[in-house]
Amino acid sequence: MKVSYNWLQSYLKLDQTPEQVAEILTDTGLEVEKLEKWESVPGGLEGVMVGHVVDLWPHPNADKLNVTKVDLGIGEPVQIVCGAPNVAKGQKVLVATVGTTLMPEPGKPFEIKKAKIRGEESFGMICAEDELGIGTSHAGIMVLPGDTKMGITAADYLGLETDYVFEIGLTPNRTDGFGHYGVARDIAARLSLKKQVGAEKPELKKLDIYQSEKPKISVEIRDKQGCGRYAGLLIENIKVQPSPEWLQNRLRAIGQTPINNVVDITNFVLHEMGQPLHAFDAARIKGNKIVIDTLPKGTKFTTLDEVERVLDEKDLMICNGEGGMCIAGVFGGIRSGVSDHTTSVFLESAWFNPVRIRKTAKRHGLNTDASFRFERGVDPNGTVFALKRAANLILEIAGGEVVGPLIDEITEIPQQVALDFSLERFNSLAGTNLDEQVVTGILKSLDFEIESTTADKVFKLKVPTYRADVHREVDVVEEVLRIYGYNNVEMPDQMRISVSVGKKPARHEVIQALGQALVGRGFSEMMSNGLTRSDYIKEVTGNQDDKSLVYMLNPLSEELDVLRPDLTISMLESVAYNLNRQADRLMLFEIGKSYEKVEDGYRETTKLAIALAGTRFRESWSSPADASDSSDLRGHINAVFQIMGLEASFGDSGKNPFYGSAVSVHLRRKNIGILGSISKKAMKRYGIKRDVLVAEFDLDSCLKAIGHASKTLTSLTKFPSVRRDLSLLLNENVGFEEIEKIAYAKAGKFIKEIGLFDVYEGKSLPTGKKSYAVSFVLQDENKTLNDKQIDKTMKSIQSELETVLGASLR
């Protein structure tokens, strides 16, 4: 939201600079995101002065040019070549001096330089309206009245305005900051901490309202749930014309385009008081009746932007006797607005249900100044004041007379909130020691009514209705504290803290941290449908009668007939889609649910799936175009477990139809997932032509383990480690876990890490056999291991593997 510095000064006189005001606003919760200078004429015509043409003669080398001598009142007259047909000796004119930058068109500045025109020197330019950017006429130079003082600046002569505009990031709860007056009230409250300052509310002149028994235009609220209050006033015999300069400047400064005096006044009051208004051409109100109701679904309605919109039966409408005139609280209709021929207007000021307005605005893709305010909740008790304020301005600027009574229909509006506020509790929560006078002064400056005070300083308060977000005592604490200033809360000289047992992190916090970490590592998060097609699964697995699949009773289509049993299925669909559209590097992850049918019902599991495809790095002269491999994926998995404070291990996965080669992911010797490359059969079924690496594991098991994870601090060993590898020929039913168990038992304290880095099953091996390549990392924390100790340990492991598992070295 944009706020004008000059406009704020209409309600309180500011000694502070715009920069200081910006700091005050930010401290009080109206964060200033940007502060910029605004000028009614871009550039402010700096360098343009009033001059006196003291001499003139024809240019010796050009028939249509004249050479002039112009006195600027700052030294010797300057010579200027001028081509205007109306230039004459003795005139007072506006002169752009050398070095001046003019901007006749936005974004197209040009600088006045010393020049030689057809052999004659020229030290400036005598200007026309369009050259200064203050008009469109180019018939000749501007000729000023003869008594104009010579040497004054063009800005002073023309009364140009310079302003500073604050761009405020208005949060949804700060409905009190919808208008300039509300912003001024906050500034005044902060300034009152040092001296008594108040924001002066616009003064209303008494309206000469003709109190007839029956108004010329009646109002009926039929949809009482949608419209809680509707006020209106009829003004006749007005004259629609351009607004005065001051009003246009106020609107232009905050980015609004002036239209005509009536519309400009409604926009002005909206940005002044935060209350949207609408002006109807009274002659276009058919049947002299306004009805607030809905229209049948499918009704077509053309809005001010000349777009025909199809209404929903829940869209609140302002109607006349024949049809819709305006989408209530959102956008006006093209046939009921004020035009140059309008002579009578019906002013509307209302309170609409915020939820209804928000849904209508979203439904039609409209975000207007009115909907922005109505959907957050305007002050239900500010409607009549805003209406009278607009009527005052119309009578002053557009003339006319009020006809008939002021209509104010009320069905149901939010009432003032009453609550108790304890001074002792405030100081306890805020960490302050403020006295009663300071606190009550802040409350009164924010329009809180103090009905009574008990002996122990508990105040009975009534909250102003423009603060729709204040319902609890703690909300009032926040209000007082933001005006007092968070930066003014003194830090204690001594701080005491207690050491408590660390709590298990919340589930959503862990999931959020994992997502952020993966994004930081270059991954993109995907969210896929929990439904998939059963024929994909059956074709890849070869199991046509899979009892674990969860079928839909009433599937939307044949392609979405089962709940996915794992995330790999959805992941492969996304990988195929992207690779088929020329993606050369994919890093995807998804955190979602998988579903399976079990003996006692159904099981729903939260899982994490990660996919890599294509090159390891983006194409660059400094990095090779190598494809991602399993070590890359394993590194990402280890990083994920480190974030959770857990340690993963890897082992034999057994056969899995979706994977060609794979290893299982273990947590505390429990198999919780799988990691590997997708099988050729699965790739063919999904139409994938490049190698894809996928990892998927049970996140629920990890989240449960976090609370029981212990961390031990150990010093770094001074002695080196050594690695030995064994290539083992094993029966195909032997798992990696069995090798791990035997190795840890035989190597004792020397074994630090066991890893499986290759699995092979092929034609060169005997039937029923497979080959494992296993690494063993050995280390003694107290001394360097010698070859004799290492060989003895490895022979012990090898012997036990041969005896227990029937293993042999390849």
CATH number of the domain within which 751 lies: 3.30.70.380
Interhelix angle 423-430/473-484, nearest 10 degrees: 60
Instruction: Supply 736's token pair.
Output: 């990696």
- 121 phi/psi in degrees, rounded to 5: -75, 145
CATH number of the domain within which 187 lies: 3.30.56.10
- Shared domain for 482 and 567, answered yes or no, is no
The pLDDT score that the predictor gives to residue 753 is 84
Cα separation, 533 vs 568, in Å, equals 13
Instruction: Supply 429's token pair.
Output: 């929560």
The pLDDT score that the predictor gives to residue 739 is 86
Which residue range is the domain that position 103 belongs to? 48-158
475 annotated to a ligand binding site: yes
Position 245 in a domain: yes
- Pairing of β 300-302 and β 324-327: unpaired
Cα separation, 762 vs 806, in Å, equals 19
501 pLDDT tier (thresholds 50, 70, 90): low
- Shared domain for 769 and 797, answered yes or no, is yes
User: Which parts of 197-326 fold into alpha helices (H)?
Assistant: 245-253, 261-273
3-state DSSP of 97-161: CCCCEEEEECCEEEECCCEEECCEEECCEECCHHHHCCCCCCCCCCEECCCCCCCCEHHHHHCCC
Position 493 in a domain: no
Position 601 in a domain: yes
Is 233 within 8 Å of 406 (Cβ atoms)?
A: yes
Query: Mean pLDDT across the chain, nearest whole number?
Result: 89
- Provide the whole-model pTM: 0.61
- Shared domain for 537 and 559, answered yes or no, is yes
3-class DSSP assignment, residue 330: coil
Q: What percent of the chain has pLDDT over 70?
A: 96
Cα separation, 65 vs 59, in Å, equals 5
CATH number of the domain within which 534 lies: 3.30.930.10
Position 577 in a domain: yes
Given a cut of 60, whether residue 623 has pLDDT beyond it is no
Cα separation, 388 vs 393, in Å, equals 9
The pLDDT score that the predictor gives to residue 277 is 96
Residue ending a domain, choose from 353, 376, 410 = 410
Given a cut of 80, whether residue 134 has pLDDT beyond it is yes
CATH number of the domain within which 59 lies: 2.40.50.140
469 annotated to a ligand binding site: yes
Given a cut of 60, whether residue 710 has pLDDT beyond it is no
pLDDT digits (tens, 9 = 90+) for 572-597: 889 888 988 888 788 999 999 999 99
- Shared domain for 148 and 169, answered yes or no, is no
pLDDT digits (tens, 9 = 90+) for 409-455: 999 999 999 999 999 999 999 888 899 999 999 999 999 999 999 99
3-state helix, strand, coil split of the chain in percent (to 5) is 30, 30, 40
CA angle 123/126/130 to nearest 5° reads 130
Amino acid 322 reads: E
pLDDT digits (tens, 9 = 90+) for 349-366: 999 999 999 999 999 999
The pLDDT score that the predictor gives to residue 2 is 94
- Shared domain for 75 and 117, answered yes or no, is yes
- Shared domain for 663 and 752, answered yes or no, is no
Q: Nearest-CA neighbor of 443 among 420, 463, 470, 467?
A: 463
Comparing 193-202, 487-496, 587-596, which segment has the lowest mean pLDDT?
A: 487-496
Cα separation, 105 vs 335, in Å, equals 33
The pLDDT score that the predictor gives to residue 732 is 83
- Shared domain for 482 and 549, answered yes or no, is no
- Shared domain for 132 and 86, answered yes or no, is yes
- Shared domain for 154 and 166, answered yes or no, is no
810 pLDDT tier (thresholds 50, 70, 90): confident
Mean pLDDT on 745-771: 82
Count of the separate structural domains present in the chain: 6
Q: Nearest-CA neighbor of 314 among 370, 361, 360, 351?
A: 360
- Pairing of β 524-525 and β 585-598: parallel
- Shared domain for 531 and 609, answered yes or no, is yes
Position 543 in a domain: yes
- Shared domain for 363 and 461, answered yes or no, is no
Q: Is 289 buried (19+), middle (13-18) or exposed (0-12) by CB count in 10 A?
A: middle
Position 210 in a domain: no
Amino acid 655 reads: K
624 pLDDT tier (thresholds 50, 70, 90): low
Is 374 within 8 Å of 353 (Cβ atoms)?
A: no
pLDDT digits (tens, 9 = 90+) for 640-695: 888 888 888 887 766 777 888 788 888 877 888 898 888 888 888 888 888 889 99
Structure-model confidence comparison of residues 661 and 209, the more confident one: 661
- Shared domain for 76 and 36, answered yes or no, is no
Is 65 within 8 Å of 59 (Cβ atoms)?
A: yes
Given a cut of 70, whether residue 553 has pLDDT beyond it is yes
CATH number of the domain within which 243 lies: 3.50.40.10
Phi-psi map region of 671: left, alpha, beta (phi>0 left; psi -120 to 50 alpha): beta
The pLDDT score that the predictor gives to residue 638 is 87
Position 24 in a domain: yes
Position 495 in a domain: no
The pLDDT score that the predictor gives to residue 160 is 87
Residue ending a domain, choose from 143, 158, 173 = 158
Question: DSSP letters of 484-496?
Answer: H-GGGSPPPSS--
pLDDT digits (tens, 9 = 90+) for 111-133: 999 999 999 999 999 999 888 88
Given a cut of 60, whether residue 212 has pLDDT beyond it is no
Given a cut of 70, whether residue 713 has pLDDT beyond it is no
DSSP 8-state class, residue 201? P
Residue ending a domain, choose from 384, 410, 436 = 410
